[in-house]
Chains A and B, each alone.
Chain A
Amino acid sequence: MLLELDDVSKVYGVSCGNCLELTGDSSECAICPECNAVVAVNRVNLSVEENEIVGVVGESGSGKSTLLQMIYQDQKATSGEIYFNGLKDSNGNKLSLFNLPSGKTSWVRNHEMSMIYQNPHLGLNFNFSAGGNIAEKIIGSGEKRYQIIRDRALHFFGKIEMPTSRIDDYPEAFSGGQQQRIQIAKALSSSPRLLLLDEPTTGLDVSVQAKILDLIKALQYEMGFSMIVVSHDLGVINHLTDLTLVMKNGCLVEYGLTDQILEDPQHPYTQLLVSSKL
């Protein structure tokens, strides 16, 4: 098992202690009626195996991005544990990402995981060149030798089908689609085991979107990493993923094979979502 989420929750605001029970699927709200705390993610359990591609769908505010951010440790969970790649403590017990010793957290983020954001400004440093951005990730993963860093940056720049002559240009000199490609090169340059994608093609025109998705798919096949893809676009989910989880009011309301979710949705919200497809 590569990734395991065990009852993971995230509450914003001071919790009255009953927020998780008072919100969620059955109460049809994510704001606690007693204390007004916002329950972004409510007791989510999930397993992702090697080489699996999991989609996350749900309405805005259902907790999709927060879930991703907790896995990437951009945010700490209020409760629950996230286990990754069999990490254990010195006694041989499973070690949650939230309890990693300092130093190990950034090691996991830099070596084992990468995130591609919808907004390139979150994923790229616009004060660095494209190559500098890729190099930053490679350096973060432990490589210090200039020539190896440069060669690997060039290699991944080629992988995203960009002319290597542009590797020293700054992100602002690239189009939105090209900036997403640079994020992909940066994310993959550390050869992660898990790639997290938060609305990777939202806002791009459809031809650019198709090329980016094809590129991600081809690189996933070639490199064999697992992926979790957040998208509100069922077409993206259908194209990229094998498995899909559906979130509503912070809860995971349905999880299954992507074709089953799209063709035989069980939960009322999933049925509504699928019937809303254009």
Chain B
Amino acid sequence: MISTINGHRLEVRSLAKQFTLHSRGGILVEGFRDINFTLSNGQLLALSGPSGAGKSSILKTIYRTYLANQGEILFRRSDDSVIDMASCPVSRILDLRRREIGFVTQFLKILPRISALDGVAHPLIEIGVAEDEARERARIMLQRLGIREELFDLSPLTFSGGEQQRVNIARGIIAPKDLILLDEPTASLDEKSSDIVLELLKNLKERGIALVAIFHDQRKIDRVADKSIDVRRKEI
């Protein structure tokens, strides 16, 4: 039985990651080390720091796209049990990803033959929402993010960087989750679109969803974050 995490949604303890490059004679490249934080429902933790400091690597390690070399990632599931995502079987991770943990990548990952609307509706359909309702909710989400209606039926690959990022965010947050990880959700956005996204993140917090997000801009951190880590200095 994993020790208690005191009601938090997520507790990360002594997390470290290094990459072994076998093609370069097995040299070790440090991703990050000694990351510790707790996160409760409705809180947003901001990760900031210079490029290459390991911010994205932290998110990917929590999501288990990267394997941690050390540490624990304790996540409280919706049934109140606690699971260490750094060491649990991969089938449990698949289960968590379907229902409880979302990841918004920095860049859009979508098939070129899928329309923006279908791409956003898909995560809802996957969890059993009827197709018509999923599309309607996707439509509302895209409207809210300021995507023009005439783009809904087109492939997002033809969109601008900012539009792609908003489609990506819509896709990442439309299905209900308990924890969402966001990699630079406002990086390609103008001020107006950034404001919309920040408001959305606040709404997610109000709904009790825990968030970990990478931001570069201190003003944005001040607006939405409850706590932050400067990954370079690792101060909380």
* Chain A residues within 8 Å of B126, by CB: 221
Say whether, besides A49-B91, A52-B94, A256 and B60 are in contact (CB < 8 Å).
Answer: no
Say whether, besides A52-B91, A52-B94, A243-B90, A260 and B66 are in contact (CB < 8 Å).
Answer: yes
Number of contacts between A and B (CB, 8 Å)? 44
| Residue count of chain A within 8 Å CB distance of chain B | 22
Cross-chain contact A243 with B94 (CB below 8 angstroms): yes
Interface size class of B (residues with CB under 8 A): 10 to 19
Question: Is A26 located at the chain interface by the 8 A CB criterion?
Answer: no
* Chain B residues within 8 Å of A221, by CB: 126
CA gap between A259 and B109 in the complex, in Å: 12
Question: Is A264 located at the chain interface by the 8 A CB criterion?
Answer: yes
* Chain B residues within 8 Å of A264, by CB: 19, 60, 65-67
Question: Is A18 located at the chain interface by the 8 A CB criterion?
Answer: no
A9, chain B: closest CB distance, angstroms: 24
- Which chain B residues in 23-70 approach chain A with CB under 8 Å? 23, 60, 64-67
Cross-chain contact A257 with B64 (CB below 8 angstroms): yes
Say whether, besides A257-B94, A259-B65, A271 and B113 are in contact (CB < 8 Å).
Answer: no
Question: Is A205 located at the chain interface by the 8 A CB criterion?
Answer: no
Contact with B along A208-236 (1 / 0, CB 8 A): 00100010000001000000000000000
Contact with A along B1-36 (1 / 0, CB 8 A): 000000000000000000111110000000000000
* Chain B residues within 8 Å of A263, by CB: 60, 65-66
Cross-chain contact A268 with B22 (CB below 8 angstroms): yes
Contact with B along A250-278 (1 / 0, CB 8 A): 00000111011001101110011001000
CA gap between A67 and B206 in the complex, in Å: 50
* Chain B residues within 8 Å of A275, by CB: 23
CA gap between A125 and B60 in the complex, in Å: 47
Of the residues A242, A255, A259, A272, contact of B23 by C-beta under 8 Å: A272
Question: Is B174 located at the chain interface by the 8 A CB criterion?
Answer: no
Cross-chain contact B65 with A260 (CB below 8 angstroms): yes
Cross-chain contact A260 with B67 (CB below 8 angstroms): yes
Question: Is B187 located at the chain interface by the 8 A CB criterion?
Answer: no
Of the residues A210, A214, A256, A268, contact of B90 by C-beta under 8 Å: A256
Contact with A along B116-136 (1 / 0, CB 8 A): 000000000010000000000
Cross-chain contact A271 with B94 (CB below 8 angstroms): no
* Chain A residues within 8 Å of B20, by CB: 266
Q: Footprint of A on B, CB under 8 Å?
A: 19-23, 60, 64-67, 90-91, 93-94, 111, 113, 126
Could you name 7 residue pairs across A and B whose Cβ atoms are closer than 8 Å?
A: A210-B113, A239-B111, A256-B90, A257-B64, A257-B90, A263-B65, A264-B66
